Amino acid sequence: MFDVLFIGLSLSSILLLVALGLAVTYGAMGIINMAHGEMVMLGAYVSVLANIWLGANLLVAIPIAFVVTALIGLVIERLVVRRLYGRLLDTLLATWGIAIILQQAIRLEFGLSFFGIHVKGLGSGLQNVPVPQALQGTVSILGQDLNAYRIFIVAMTLVLAVATWAVMYRTSLGMKVRAIIRNPGMAAACGIDVKRTNAITFALGSGLAGVAGVLMAGFKTVAPDMGATMVVDGFMVVVTGGVGSLFGTIAASGLLGEFNALVAMVSNDIIGRAAVFAVVICVILIKPAGLFTFKGR
Amino acid sequence: MNMKRRQFLSTAALATGTLAMPGYLRSAFAEGDAIKVGALYSQTGGLSVVEKMLASAVQMAASEINAAGGVMGRPIEVVTEDGASDPKTYAEKAQKLVIKDRVSTVFGCHTSASRKAVLPIFERRNAMLFYQTHYEGFECSPNVVYSGAVPNQQLGNYIPWIIEKLGKKKFFIVGSNYVYPREMAKVSKGLIEAGGAEWVADEYLELGHSEWAVMVNKIKESGADVVLSNVVGDSIISFYREFINQGLSHEDIPICATVTSEIEIAAMGPEYAAGSYTSFPYFMSLETEANKSFIERYRAFVGDPAATTYHSLEAAYFQVFLWKQAIEASQDTTAEAIREGVRGQTYAAPGGDVKVDEDNLHCWLTPRIGQWTADGQSQIVDEYPEPIKPLPYAAYGEAADNLFCTAQGLDSSKL
C-alpha cells in the first residue's frame, strides 16, 4: 500500500510541477497560455544542451533553465501577451501559435538546418539527459525500496511549491499580483505598475515551467513535441483546483495523482487515466469554479 | 468496357503526343526513360524521426542502383511523398502516387495503421507496395511485398530460447495498446504454453504513454522472472529507465523485447538497457563485411558519421534490390510483372541472405537474438544457421506444411 501511495505522490508531484507555472500565468493573470508546455520542453532542452556543451549535470541545469525560460517568457510577454490582456480567447490562439513556433524552432535547429548546420542536442530526434549517479536506482525508506529520482522530484516540487507560495503571499510582488487578480483597474489606481508586474509574473511562470522541464528530462524522452500533452494535464489540475488558488492547485494535483495511481494499480493505466478525467468532470459539474475559490469582484 | 475505352484513349493521346514532339526531344525522352517509384514516408510529425531514416535507405539503394547502370539500363526516379505521420494523409499521398504519378511500385509506410490505410488503394489500382517494417502478420495481400519480420521470425526462436537457455518460467507480457503488440502477445502465449512455462500478466499502455511507475511496480509484485516487451515508440525509453530506477535488474528479470532497437537504446542511454535482449533478424553489430560496408555507405549517404542502422532500415534498403531483380526477371515494370518476378528472388543483404517467399510475398529472414551491452550495441547470443520461412498466420495455426496464405490468396476456410 505504501508503495502505491508513493507512486501516487510521485504522479501528483509531476502534475504539480507543470501546473505550478500555469497556476501563476492562468490562475493569476487570466491568460490561457498554450505555450506553457513548450516552456517545459525548452527547459528540458536547456538541460540537454547544458549537458552536451557545458558538461553540466541535471542539478546545475535547473537554475540555468529557470533563467533561460524566464527570459524567453519575458520576451513573449513583451511582444505578444501584453497586447492581449483581457482577451481570454485571443491569448489562447496567440500562445498556441507561439507554441507551434517554439516547437518548430527546436525541430529546425533555429532554422540552421536549412543551411546544413546541425546543432548537437537539437533537431527532431529524441534526446536524453544522463541522470546523476546518486539519483539512479533506489533508496530504502521504511523498509521500502523507492525510486531515488522520484523522491528527488517530490522534494524539488515541494521546494518549488513553497517558494511559489512565499513569492505570492510573502513578498510585495506577490501582494501586487494578488491585487491585480482582484481588480486590475483599482490596483493601477493605487499606484501598482500593472504592466511591469504582469511581465514579471509571466516570466516567473515560464521559469517554473523551465525547471519542470529539466526534472522531466530525467525520466522522459526529450523531443520537440513533449510539451503538448503536459499542458492538458496542467490545465486540468488548475481548473479542478480552482483558478487563482495556489492551494487549490496543490490539492487538486494531490487528489488526481493519488487517484490515478490507485485506480491504475487495481485495474490498469488506461482506466486510471480515464478515471482521472471522470473525477475532473464531476468536480467541474458540482463546483464549476473548482475546489477552492475566492470571491472576486 | 469502360476501362478499355479509357485505356485506348490514353494510349492514343500518348501516341499523338509522342508524334507531335520534335525529334530531338523524343530521343532524349527514350534515353532518360526513368522508372518512377514512390517513397512514401513521414517527413513531418511524430514518426518522422524514424521514417526519414527509412526514406534515406530507399534513396540510397536507388542511387546505388543508378550508379551501377540502373534497372534494365533505365535509371530509377524516386518520387518522395510525405505521409505526415497520419494514416489519412498516407491514403491521399498513395492515391496521388499511384494515380497521378502512375508509379507501379511504392516503397513506404512504417506503422500498421498507415499500411492498412493505403492497402485498398494498392489493391484496387493494382500497384505494388514494398513494406519493410516488422509487423504482426495476419495479412495476405498480393499487392504487398513484406521485407520485415513476421511474428514467427521474431518469436518462434525467442520464446523457446528464453525458456530453455535463460531458464525463465514466468512471463510478464507488456505492450502498447494496438494491434501489433496484441498479436505478438497472442503468438507468444501459444509458444510460452507449448514450452511448459506460464504467463502471469498481459498488460497494455496507451501509445506514447510515458508514466511507467505503476506498471513497473506491477512487474515487481507479479513474481515474474522475465518481461516480454512489445512496447513501441517513446514509451520504450521511459519504460527501461523506470525499470532500472525501481531497482529491478536485467540480470534477475531481463526485459526481452521485440521492438527495442539501436535507435531507442541510444535515446534512453545504453546503461538502462545493458543486459536486456531483443529479437531481430538484423543488428547493427553484425560482424560481416557486407554489414560494415553497408553502415559505412549509409553514414556517408546521410552525412552523419555516427548514424545508426537497425532492422527496418536494412529491410528498407534491400527491398529496393529485390524490386530491381523482380523487374529484370520479368523484363517489365507493371505490377503483375513485379509480383510474379519477385517470387523466389534472393539477395545478399547486409544482414545475410534473404529470399522472397513464393507463396506469401514475405521475406525469409534469419532470426537472431541480441543482448544489449553498455556501449549501446548488441552481442548476438543466438542465431539460426539460415533464413526461415515467414508465416504471417502463425498465431492462427499456420505452419510450413499447412499454409493459409499462398499465391492464390488467403484460404479463409482455415482461419
**Per-residue confidence band for B146, with pLDDT thresholds at 50, 70 and 90:** very high
Mutation pick from B211, B263, B304 vs chain A, by most beta carbons of A within 10 Å, is: B211
Residues B144 and B15 in one domain: yes
The residues of chain A scoring below 50 in pLDDT are 297
Give B268's contacts in chain A (Cβ within 8 Å).
Answer: 128, 221
Interface of A with B (CB under 8 A): 3-4, 7, 10-11, 14, 124-128, 130, 136-138, 145, 147-150, 219-221, 223, 225, 229, 261, 264-265, 268-270, 272-273
Q: Give mean pLDDT, residues B251-257.
A: 95
ipTM > 0.90 (yes/no)? no
Residues B265 and B318 in one domain: no
Q: Give mean pLDDT, residues B267-289.
A: 93
CA–CA distance from B56 to each of B52, B59, B90, B180, B299 (Å)? 6, 5, 18, 25, 10
Q: Is residue B382 part of a domain?
A: no
Contact between B108 and B79 under an 8 Å Cβ cutoff? The reply is: no
Residues B140 and B275 in one domain: no
pLDDT at res. A260: 92
Q: Is residue B220 part of a domain?
A: yes
Q: Is the pLDDT of residue B180 over 50?
A: yes
Per-residue pLDDT tens over the stretch A77-106: 999 988 988 788 898 999 999 999 999 899
Higher pLDDT, B49 or B348: B348
Residue of A11, A221, A229 with shortest CB distance to B237 = A221
Q: How many Cβ contacts (< 8 angstroms) between chains A and B?
A: 84
Print the domain residue range for B29.
2-149+308-365
Contact between A81 and A31 under an 8 Å Cβ cutoff? The reply is: yes
Lowest mean pLDDT among A106-110, B17-21, B356-360: B17-21
pLDDT at res. B227: 96
Contact between B77 and B36 under an 8 Å Cβ cutoff? The reply is: yes
Mutation pick from B212, B246, B248, B308 vs chain A, by most beta carbons of A within 10 Å, is: B246
- According to DSSP, residue B362 is labeled B
Residues B143 and B125 in one domain: yes
Q: Is the pLDDT of residue B259 over 70?
A: yes
Q: Is residue B132 part of a domain?
A: yes
Inter-chain touch A3–B177, beta carbons under 8 Å:
no
Domains of chain A, residue spans: 2-113+141-225
Percent of chain B with pLDDT over 90: 74
B388–chain A Cβ distance below 8 A for any pair: no
pLDDT at res. A166: 93
Residues B166 and B186 in one domain: yes
Residue of B48, B246, B268 with shortest CB distance to A124 = B48
Q: Is residue B395 part of a domain?
A: no
Residues B135 and B156 in one domain: no
pLDDT at res. A295: 59
d(CA B20, CA B327): 30
**Crossing angle, helix A148-170 and helix B235-245, to 10 degrees?**
100
User: Where are the alpha helices (H) located in B125-169, listed in sequence order?
Assistant: 151-154, 158-164
pLDDT at res. B257: 95
Residues B34 and B137 in one domain: yes
Tally the domains of chain B: 2
* Min Cα–Cα distance to chain A from B312, Å: 17
Q: Is residue B404 part of a domain?
A: no
Higher pLDDT, A127 or B256: B256
pLDDT at res. A220: 81
Q: Is the pLDDT of residue B18 over 50?
A: no
Residues B337 and B356 in one domain: yes
Give A266's contacts in chain B (Cβ within 8 Å).
Answer: none
Residues B239 and B316 in one domain: no
Half-sphere exposure of B230 (CA within 13 A, CB side): 28
Cell numbers of B136, please?
504482426
Inter-chain touch A137–B245, beta carbons under 8 Å:
yes
Residues B237 and B324 in one domain: no
Q: Coil, strand, or helix at residue B275?
A: coil
**Per-residue confidence band for B12, with pLDDT thresholds at 50, 70 and 90:** very low
Per-residue pLDDT tens over the stretch A159-169: 999 999 999 88
Q: Is residue B72 part of a domain?
A: yes
**Per-residue confidence band for B32, with pLDDT thresholds at 50, 70 and 90:** low
Residue of A125, A149, A220 with shortest CB distance to B245 = A149
Q: Is the pLDDT of residue B20 over 80?
A: no
pLDDT at res. A296: 52
Inter-chain touch B217–A221, beta carbons under 8 Å:
no
pLDDT at res. B164: 94
- According to DSSP, residue A69 is labeled H
Last residue of some domain: B337, B365, B393? B365
- Provide the CATH number for the domain around residue B200: 3.40.50.2300
